[in-house]
Structure 1
C-alpha cells in the first residue's frame, strides 16, 4: 500500500517546494498530539486550588467520529490445564518439588497494609485458581515454594503485580514485631512483567534470614517462586538470585497457555520480539548528548559523559518520594548536563528483548503518576502523566512533577520522559528548583516541547534496536 503522506508530498499545483520526509511529518504530528495530551493533564491539575487530579491519557486514541467496531474479547484460560507441571525443574537439577492444591507462598503484608494475596482479601481481587509446590526435607514445608495464580484477565493479573511492586516501594523498612527490610532486586525483566523481592530481618546490627521471591506475569497468570537462606545482605541476594530464576524457568515456559498468543512456540508468549535476534551493544559513538545545551555558567558545570553506567537511573516515586532504580538492562550508557539551577540526566538502556524494555518502561510509569500529595505547610506535590501514541519511537510517556503552595503555582519541577525503540529505552529527566520562578502550566508546556525536541535526533539513532534495524 502506498504511503498517503508520500502521495500528498507529490501534489504541488503551486510553487516548487521541498517536502519533509513522510516519517518526519508523521513524527511531528504525533508528537504534537502527545504534548497536547500531557498538557490536558497539567491543565486539569492547575484548575483546582489545593487538590488536583492528574489525567492519564491512553495511547493510540482515534480522533475519527466514525463508530469503530468493538475489538474481539479474548477468552482467557481460567483454570490450570491438565498436564501443567508446577513442579518442573531444569534437566539434571537435584531439586524436587511436591505439588500442593493451593498457594504455598505466603501473603504479603507490608507496613501493616495488604499488598498481595491469592485469596478474597487481595487488594485487586482473588485468583480464579491456584496451585502450589514445595521443595525441601521430608516432613517439612520446604525452603523453596511456588504458587501459580490465575486471574480473570491480563489486566487483573497486571494490577496484582503492580500492587505488590508499589507495596514494596512504599515499605523499605517494616518496624513491626519483626523488623524486616524489603527491596526490589535488580534483575532482567521476564515475559509480560516481572519483579524480584527481597525480605530480610534486620535486628541489632544483624542482617539475615533472606527470602527471595520472583514474580512473573504471563497473560492472566502470575508465578511466585520463593527461596530462603539464613544469610543476608547484597552478596547473599546476588548468589541466590540466579539459582532461583533458573529453577523456575521450566514453569515460566509452560505459562504461554495463559498468554493472548498461546503456545505456538514456548517463546511466543515469553518473549514477543518478532525475530528473537536483537542488538544489545551500545556503540562507543552513540550520540547520547545530542540536543543538550553546550554551555554552562562556570567551568564546573556543563556536559558530562557519555560513559558506561553500572547503576540504573533512579526515579522518584509518588508514595514516599524515595528514589528507585529499576534494573534488567544488558548495557547502559549515561550522561547529561548541569547548571547551578538545573540538571538534565540521560540514560540509554538495552534489554534482551523488546518485552523486557517495555516492562522496564511500565515499571517506571507505574510509580510516577498518582494523586496529588499533601507535603505539609500548604505545599501540594502534583504528579501528572500522559501516555504516548507513538510520537517518538515504539512506546513513550511523559511525567511531570510540580508544586502548588496554598493553591498557587510554586517554584520547582521535574519532567521525566522515556522512549522505547525495540529493545532499548532512552530516559531523560530535567529537574530545576525554580528559585523565584513559579511554575505555571504555560511554563510546563514550554519545558515539555523542549524535551521532545531535544530527544528527536537521539531517538533516530536508536533505529539499530528496532525490528529490521536502520
Structure 2
C-alpha cells in the first residue's frame, strides 16, 4: 500500500468534479455506490467510473424538527388541512416515487416538517427562509436504501428538500437570487466545519418545462478534504449538488451532498432529473393528483401482478426479481439528450428482473384521467420518433430508434433501440413496450443482449406483448367500463 503520510489533500481538490458544470458530467462515488458496483446491471444506462476506497458519507446539515411526533400511524396528510385553492403543503414536496439516485439504490423519506425548524435548510444558508420573506415552509429529508440487497445497510448519503411560499413573485425571485449567492460563496459557513476548503462551479440553468414566470438552476460544489475518519488517505472531498427552482411566488431547494470520488450519470445527474418534478409540484394545487386517493380508482393494488409473464428464476442470478413495489427509480425515457416529461400522475408501481445479459424493467403508472394517460404515451412515442439517430458518441458508436404501433390495450407502441459502430451492427440494444388501458400506462424495457431487436424485430415485439398479456388484462379496471 502506498505511503500517504506526506500527501496534501487540499492540493488534490482541484481534480474533483472537473466536469460537474455540465449535465451528465462526472459526479461523486459514495460509499454506498462503491459497495454496489458489482451489481452494475441494476440500473440501465448508468455507467460508473470507480475510484477510491470505500468511504462513509455523512449528512452535512443538522436535523430538522418533525411534526409527526412518535405516532407512526400519522402521515403527511396530518400536517396540514388541504386548501381547495392549492395552499402550499407536504403534497408539494418530492415523494419517494419522485426521487432518483443511481445503481440499485433509492431515496426514502425519513421525516417531514413544517416551518424553518432549528437548523439551517442548507449548509450555506445564512438566514432562514422565513427571514427571506417566506410565509410558509415545509421540509423533507431522505435516506438512501439498497433496494437490490435490503439487508445491506446504507448510511450517510444526504438528500433534503425545502419548499417555501412567498407573498409575491418579486420576493420569491429575490430569495432565489440570495440563496444562489450563498451557495456560490459558502466559504464562511464551510470554514466552521472539518472541511474548510470550498469551491463552487458555474451554475447551470435547467429547463423545468413549467412555463410562465419560473427559473431553475443547479450549482455544483466541492469542499474538503473529507475528515480522516472517513478517508484516511485524504483522496476524497464532499461533493454537493444544489437545485434551486422558482415557480411564481414559490421556491424549492434540493440539497444533495455525498463523500466520494467520480462516476458518470448518462441520463442526467440526480438533482437535474428531480428538479422538473419539484417545479411541477410547486404549481398551486399541483400536488393533489399525485395522491391516488384524490382520484377515485387510480390507486394500484399492492398485489397487482406486474411481474406476470416473466421467468420464475434467473439463469445465473439466484434472485433476479425486485418488486413489485413503489419507490423504485422510474424507467428513463431519453433520446437525443431529451427526456419525455411525465404528466402529473396518480400512482406508480415498479418491478425489475435482472440476470446476466437479460435485464427487464416494468412500471405501471396511473393518471387522473384517460386523456392524461394518452398524453403520457404520446410524449414517449414523439420523443423517439424525433430521434431516429443520435449523434456519434465520439468513438464511432451511434444509437438508433424506431417506433412501431402494436396491437395491445387501447393503444400501444414498441420502441426499438440499437447501437451501431461505424455503421455496422453491435450486440447491444433495448426494446420498450408502451401500452395504455384507460388511465393506466404500462412501460416495459428489455435490455442486455436479449433486448437487442436487430434482425429479430417482429419476434422481439411479439414476445414482449405476449409476456405482458396478463399485466395488460389486469389493467382493465382502469378503463372505467372494463375491457
When normalised by structure 1's length, the TM-score is: 0.45
Is the radius of gyration larger for structure 1 or structure 2?
A: 1
When normalised by structure 2's length, the TM-score is: 0.44
